[in-house]
Amino acid sequence: MLKPPELLKKYFGYDSFRPQQEEIIEKVLSGADSLVLMPTGGGKSLCFQIPALLLPGTAIVVSPLISLMKDQVDALRSNGIAAAFLNSSQTFEEQQMILDACHKGQISLLYVSPEKLISDIDIINQVCKPSLFAIDEAHCISSWGHDFRPEYTQLGFLRQRFAHIPFMALTATADKVTRRDIIKQLKLKTPQVFITSFDRKNLSLDVRIGVKPKEKMEEIIDFVKERDQQSGIIYCLSRKKCEEAYEALANAGVSAMFYHAGMSSETRSSVQDRFINDELQVVCATVAFGMGIDKSNVRWVIHYNLPKNIEGYYQEIGRAGRDGIPSETILYYNYADLIMLNKFASEGAMAEVNLEKLKRMQHYAEADSCRRKILLNYFSENLEENCGNCDVCSNPRKHFDGTLMVQKALSAIMRMGEKEGANMVIDVLRGSKKQEIVAAGYDKLKTHGAGAEVPAIDWQRYLMQMLNLGVLEIAYDENFALRITPLGKDILFGKRKMELTVLQTLQATDKTVKTR
């Protein structure tokens, strides 16, 4: 019988395993359970595909991505591996044919959706002789994960029913809590946890705060045009924004398209194909784009808005530079994003988790220290040295005594009865004579105009710092009014001081490029 390295060469054409792959495969072959954490594109699939070739019977792969199953199975077949899939998209006859082939021992890998596995477990058990269970995208089982799927929670019964078969849970995204939850819910037996480094050193990390919408698009167009041989993805929060960004790029002569769930599946897959074949330079997409796309030369990823959580962000930037060549990522972030995302996050049953995750995302975006350290830390990995490849490392932050600024803002907020949102507060600080301000009598306040020397956009960024520092909070359920926290009161009444971070001048590097 061939050994794993020989199978790797024979079926996949690769000469060597990536870090940990071989250990994981050995573990599975020994019959033990495992939890595998590897970043997207890290090579998780081989970890169950090779054992599937070695163990007698059929390896069952549970995956929620029905739309990708066919492609995955086709790819395996073209490598000479007997694979098949079962899901609700198939006719009864098709399903029978596959079960029949399993029964004849002709299938080494069977991909199934969780709901199919649950409904058809008896028949699958009768015909298949499962050799191992691989639960892909295992974070879907946890309501702590960012992609909770209730049908996953029913998989818990498998471990007991198939007591003598190795189980693997695989995921690209699981923080500590989610990890523990996966093990608990799948009832894995003293699993070995494999964590390959999530560090993607070739990705630069850049966050740009408070760029005005119009300037943002101009900046992006310049960025793209300076990289006319490089393809990239622009992630937007809404479908509408995808289309607008696409239009702006197309008008500037860039070969681009948009991609979101509101399009027909034919159009979507044509956009995907054209992007993969380098016929399109840029795709402006919602987060639906990129799942399972194997394009190694994506050179940059831009987030037009703040993502909902770090898991999603990391997965999305991870689509750049899979070939290991230096690639760029930029995240744009402003106050309006924060308000909108908070509104989304606070709706529904998962509000608490979603809000917490958004807060972590916000902290990352506003970080004062090496961004990669914060990212890796989120995935429980520690980086000893600063990375030297993020905007904070290349432009260390300076601080100043911001007590007076904080006092000005808080005093205005207090005098307005803590019932106004950021824009009104800023208008009052800047001494605006807008009708609403006069009507409310805010122009008579002592703090009216007290911060006139600071541009409105800078005030927004200072207010964000104050939110982050816990001086202020937003009453999301009351028109996003700014409220003063107890810590804020201490500063307002002179009991404490507060340091603020000197604002970075944005786009400085791009401006120099532009004039070249």
Judging by DSSP bridges, how do beta strands 399-401 and 499-501 pair with one another?
antiparallel
Query: Which residue, 8 or 426, is less far from ligand ADP as judged by CB?
Result: 8
Please state the length of the chain: 516
Q: Which residue is nearest to ligand ADP, using beta carbons?
A: 43
What dihedral do alpha carbons 154, 126, 163, 88 form, nearest 10°? -20
Rg from Cα positions in the chain: 26
Candidate segments 10-18, 78-86, 349-357, 405-413, binder of ligand ADP by CB under 6 A: 10-18
Helix 351-365 crosses helix 335-345 at what angle (to 10 degrees)?
160
The vertex-497 CA angle with 493 and 498, nearest 5°, equals: 115
3-class SS of residue 453: coil
Give the residue, chosen from 4, 7, 17, 506, that forms a contact with ligand ADP under the rule CB under 6 A.
17
Residue 406: name the closest of 335, 489, 339 by CA: 489
CB count, 10 Å around CB of 363?
Answer: 14
Q: Longest Cα pair distance anywhere in the chain, in angstroms? A: 87
**Binding status of residue 157 toward ligand ADP by CB under 6 A:** no
**Binding status of residue 40 toward ligand ADP by CB under 6 A:** yes
Cβ 4 to Zn ion shortest distance, Å: 37
Classify burial at 153, counting beta carbons within 10 Å of its beta carbon; exposed 0-12, middle 13-18, buried 19 or more.
middle
Q: Segment 378-407, which members bind Zn ion (CB under 5 A)?
A: 386-387, 390, 393
Q: Segment 346-375, which members bind Zn ion (CB under 5 A)?
A: 370, 372
Give the residue, chosen from 44, 200, 216, 408, that forms a contact with ligand ADP under the rule CB under 6 A.
44
Q: Look at residue 18 and give the partner it binds from ligand ADP, Zn ion, none, a contact being a CB closer than 5 to 8 Å depending on partner kind.
A: ligand ADP
Q: What is the distance between the alpha carbons of residues 46 and 25, in angstroms, rounded to a whole number?
A: 8
Query: Which residue, 44 or 373, is less far from ligand ADP as judged by CB?
Result: 44
Query: Which residue, 381 or 458, is less far from ligand ADP as judged by CB?
Result: 381
Which two tokens mark 411? 């005093």
**Binding status of residue 249 toward Zn ion by CB under 5 A:** no
Q: Look at residue 401 and give the partner it binds from ligand ADP, Zn ion, none, a contact being a CB closer than 5 to 8 Å depending on partner kind.
A: none
Cβ 46 to ligand ADP shortest distance, Å: 5
Cβ 66 to ligand ADP shortest distance, Å: 16
Query: Which residue, 37 or 224, is less far from ligand ADP as judged by CB?
Result: 37
Q: Segment 279-308, which members bind ligand ADP (CB under 6 A)?
A: 294
Query: Which residue, 45 or 432, is less far from ligand ADP as judged by CB?
Result: 45
Residue 84: name the closest of 118, 54, 52, 51 by CA: 52
Query: Which residue, 71 or 199, is less far from Zn ion as judged by CB?
Result: 199
Residues that bind ligand ADP in the complex, under the rule CB under 6 A: 14, 17-18, 21, 38, 40-46, 294
